[in-house]
Structure 1
């Protein structure tokens, strides 16, 4: 991942880098890898995330259709 620094503005470059890392899910992955997660807990978390994504997509679909 690369971020270019323009006009010696390192603060702006850091802000852009953090936003890119957030979008990619790097911070979330670091948090999850900090400690061991049992396989059953991982499956439960992934299932909950999938349900959450599905609900969000359904809300957006209904919003687009005007319901």
Structure 2
């Protein structure tokens, strides 16, 4: 488990909260909480992961095409 630390400087709690939210988002904590909110059947999980993989592949191919056309 990775621990996330944020230092509060000059009693600026608002800025520390913003930094904490940014770090948690980058680590994927909010996404994991959202996924774990309900039980997901194994077949649905497999379908979701396949859909994510296709989306990731499509995005990579589009970026590769964009690099070659420059």
Aligning the two structures, in what range does the TM-score lie when normalised by the shorter sequence? 0.7 to 0.9
* Gap regions ≥5 residues in structure 1: none
Taking the aligned partners of 1:61 and 1:9, their CA distance within structure 2 comes to 43
* Gap regions ≥5 residues in structure 2: none
Higher relative contact order (CA 8 A, sep 6+): 2
Taking the aligned partners of 2:16 and 2:66, their CA distance within structure 1 comes to 35
The alignment's C-alpha RMSD in Å is: 1.2
Residue 12 of structure 1: aligned partner: 15
Q: Please give the TM-score of this superposition, normalised by the length of structure 2.
A: 0.85
Q: Please give the TM-score of this superposition, normalised by the length of structure 1.
A: 0.88
State the aligned residue count: 67
